[in-house]
Structure formats: structure tokens, C-alpha cells
């Protein structure tokens, strides 16, 4: 058994040296120019048009021409946004034979903005344009104005607020789902926030908590929740994650130490952040360049283990990665 382990370790060391050499040889690669030639997505609707000749008689003998082939080209087209007005009519019914039945009418359909101007589809369009495409509300108002539709930015903001209210239960459910995870990723970033009455902005913090177990074969669905906070203190992860005591993957920010102290959570620090410091000194310190070579080998080995079962990944890391980390 010991001989087998020694042989396996020797093979791992040989493979590691080869990976380090390969990383040096391929560190500077030329980026190929990308183009969009090729077939367009199959799910797109195809509108065919035939460009044909008018005279289908042979210019030489006068006989009928027949098709012997064709040239087919595809071009990506777009249908500009078309605004329309949905008119909902709800007839009221009454009985002429008696006065006891009263008036009968189908109930009005419910909308995100009750008794308002937009359909749910228009509200969804505003939300997607604002948060997925980062199109400010005043620019959206300008787009609608080109179509002769006068929508004030305050009106659009009111729609956004109503959507936020409707999504509150979904956000709470998603956060509860993440809190029950065994492993999460956390990060925070600065975000400018309007300071009403000052004409300026102040700095807020947007905290992200994510779960994605697909690389190691986990069955939990990927999910992410964004939480806003006025500061970057260690009390915010506690407030957001509650009694979470699993593994929390973070950078080196000391604010996450509080959730470790209070809940007993395990902090898994980001390897990329550790590498960054050596990268800054790569041209000044020879040891930094050597460490970067080791990091490159680590990433290549990890890529071969991605998607494998937890047992296979643990075995591979112990066999191939642990000696490298111990050497560091």
C-alpha cells in the first residue's frame, strides 16, 4: 500500500512539473480575432423571401427553365418596439324580469399597477431595461417620447417601486434558501447612492451572497441575493445571513471575521486575492515570479478536477495540490 502511494505521488510530481513548464510556455498567447460568421440561432423565427427572375424561358432556345439549385443567405433582422393600447371591456348584465338579481359583471383582471396606465408586460420591460441593460429611467422616458408617449420619470420610478414590493416575498424566500446552504460566496462593492436634498451622491455598499455548486457536482440550484447596506461593517453579514454557520468563501476583508466569531462559520479565503499581491511584485522580486508559476499550475490542476465528484476532487487535491501548497 505504501509503495502504491509513493508511486502515485511520483506520478503527481512529474505531472506537476510538466504543468509548470507548460504554463511558462503558454503564458503569452495571441488572441484570435472573433467574428460572427456562421449559422444564426435556430430558435429565431425565419421569414423567407424569394428573389426570382421574371422571365423563366431560355434566352437561347426559348424552352422552359427549371430549378437546378439555389443560393440561401441569412441576415439578422429586428422588429422595432411597437407600442399598442390594450382595451379591456367588461360588460355589465342586469335582469329585466326582476330587480333581485342586481348587476353581474366579470371581475377586473389584476395588474402590478392597479388602476394604472401600464400592462404587466410594459412594467417588466422597464425593469429589465433599468437593471439588466442599465438604462436610466430618464432615458427610457426619452425613448417613449419619440413615440409620442409622455411618461414622466417619476411615474416610471413609481412602477419600479411597486415591482420591488411585489418581489419582496420572493427575495425573502431566496435569502432563506441561501441561509440553509452548506457553502456560500460573499462579496461587497461600493455603490453610489443619491443623497436627497444635497444634489450629490453618497457611498453605499451592495452585498452579494451566491451559491453555485455545479462545478463540484452539487445538486442545489444556483442562486444569488443582493443586499444593500449603508456601510461595510461586520454586522451586515450577520444581519443578512442570520445564523448561517457553513463555509463562507470570501476575500481577505476583515469584516467577515464577525460571522466567524458569532456563528462559528468557516471562512474560505479566495486564492485569487492571495495571488494578486505576488503579481504586483512579479517584476521586482524573483520569488514572486516563481510563486505565480506555482499558482498557474494550481489552476491547471484544479481545472482537471472541476465537475468531478467530491471524493475524486478531494483525492486529487490531496495527491496533486497539497504537496504544492505545502511547498509554498
Please, which pLDDT band fits residue 5 given cuts at 50, 70 and 90?
Answer: very low
If you ran DSSP here, which 8-state letter would residue 59 be given? T
Closest to 16 measured CA to CA, from 324, 264, 328, 236:
324
**What is the spatial distance between Cα 266 and Cα 246, in angstroms, rounded to a whole number?**
6
Mean pLDDT, the chain, integer = 87
Cell of 305: 478536477
CB 174 within 8 A of CB 182: no
CB 204 within 8 A of CB 228: yes
**What is the spatial distance between Cα 299 and Cα 19, in angstroms, rounded to a whole number?**
10
Length of the chain, in residues: 328
Spell out a b/e string for 230-240, using b for 16 or more CB atoms within 10 Å of the CB, else e: eeeebebbbeb
Residue with cell 437546378: 68
Q: What percent of the chain has pLDDT over 70?
A: 88
Its sign, for the CA torsion 159, 160, 163, 165, is negative
Cell of 308: 468531478
Instruction: Reduce the DSSP state of residue 250 to 3 states and report it.
Output: strand
Q: Identify the residue with better confidence: 287 or 89.
A: 89
CB 295 within 8 A of CB 275: yes
**Residues 6 or more apart whose Cβ sits within 8 Å of residue 268:** 183, 247, 248, 249, 250
With a cut of 90, say whether residue 166 has pLDDT above it.
Answer: yes
**What is the spatial distance between Cα 184 and Cα 249, in angstroms, rounded to a whole number?**
6
Task: Write out pLDDT tens, residues 98-124.
Answer: 877 789 999 999 999 988 899 999 999
Please, which pLDDT band fits residue 1 given cuts at 50, 70 and 90?
Answer: very low
Instruction: Determine the number of helices (DSSP H) and then strands (DSSP E) in the chain.
Output: 10, 7
CA diameter of the chain:
101
Its sign, for the CA torsion 135, 140, 141, 145, is positive
**What is the spatial distance between Cα 74 and Cα 36, in angstroms, rounded to a whole number?**
12
Instruction: Give this prediction's pTM.
Output: 0.70
**What is the spatial distance between Cα 133 and Cα 282, in angstroms, rounded to a whole number?**
38
- pLDDT attached to residue 2: 43
Spell out a b/e string for 313-325, using b for 16 or more CB atoms within 10 Å of the CB, else e: beebbebbbeebe
Please, which pLDDT band fits residue 224 given cuts at 50, 70 and 90?
Answer: very high
**What is the spatial distance between Cα 245 and Cα 239, in angstroms, rounded to a whole number?**
13
Please, which pLDDT band fits residue 309 given cuts at 50, 70 and 90?
Answer: confident
With a cut of 60, say whether residue 95 has pLDDT above it.
Answer: yes
Amino acid at each position: 500500500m505504501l509503495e502504491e502511494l509513493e508511486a502515485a505521488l511520483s506520478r503527481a510530481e512529474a505531472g506537476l512539473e510538466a504543468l509548470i513548464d507548460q504554463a511558462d510556455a503558454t503564458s503569452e498567447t495571441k488572441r484570435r480575432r472573433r467574428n460572427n460568421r456562421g449559422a444564426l440561432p435556430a430558435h429565431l423565427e425565419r421569414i423567407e423571401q424569394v428573389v426570382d427572375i421574371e422571365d423563366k424561358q431560355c434566352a437561347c432556345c426559348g424552352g422552359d427553365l427549371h430549378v437546378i439549385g439555389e443560393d440561401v443567405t441569412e441576415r439578422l433582422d429586428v422588429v422595432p418596439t411597437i407600442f399598442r393600447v390594450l382595451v379591456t371591456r367588461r360588460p355589465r348584465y342586469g335582469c329585466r324580469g326582476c330587480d333581485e338579481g342586481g348587476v353581474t359583471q366579470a371581475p377586473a383582471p389584476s395588474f402590478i399597477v392597479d388602476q394604472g396606465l401600464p400592462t404587466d408586460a410594459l412594467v417588466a420591460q422597464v425593469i429589465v431595461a433599468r437593471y439588466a441593460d442599465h438604462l436610466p429611467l430618464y432615458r427610457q422616458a426619452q425613448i417613449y417620447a419619440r413615440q409620442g408617449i409622455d411618461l414622466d420619470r417619476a411615474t416610471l420610478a413609481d412602477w419600479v417601486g411597486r415591482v420591488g414590493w411585489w418581489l419582496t416575498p420572493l427575495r425573502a424566500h431566496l435569502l432563506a434558501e441561501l441561509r440553509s446552504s452548506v457553502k456560500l460566496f460573499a462579496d461587497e462593492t461600493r455603490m453610489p447612492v443619491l443623497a436627497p436634498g444635497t444634489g450629490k451622491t453618497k457611498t453605499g455598499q451592495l452585498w452579494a451572497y451566491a451559491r453555485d455548486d455545479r462545478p463540484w457536482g452539487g445538486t442545489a440550484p444556483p442562486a444569488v441575493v443582493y443586499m444593500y447596506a449603508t456601510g461595510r461593517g461586520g454586522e451586515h453579514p450577520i444581519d443578512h445571513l442570520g445564523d448561517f454557520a457553513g463555509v463562507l468563501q470570501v476575500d481577505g476583508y476583515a469584516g467577515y471575521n464577525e460571522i466567524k466569531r458569532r456563528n462559528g462559520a468557516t471562512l474560505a479565503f479566495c486564492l485569487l486575492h492571495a495571488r494578486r499581491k505576488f503579481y504586483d511584485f512579479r517584476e521586482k522580486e524573483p520569488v514572486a515570479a516563481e510563486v505565480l508559476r506555482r499558482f498557474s499550475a494550481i489552476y491547471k490542476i484544479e481545472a482537471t478536477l472541476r465537475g468531478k465528484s467530491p471524493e475524486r476532487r478531494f483525492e486529487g487535491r490531496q495527491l496533486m495540490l497539497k504537496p504544492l501548497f505545502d511547498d509554498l
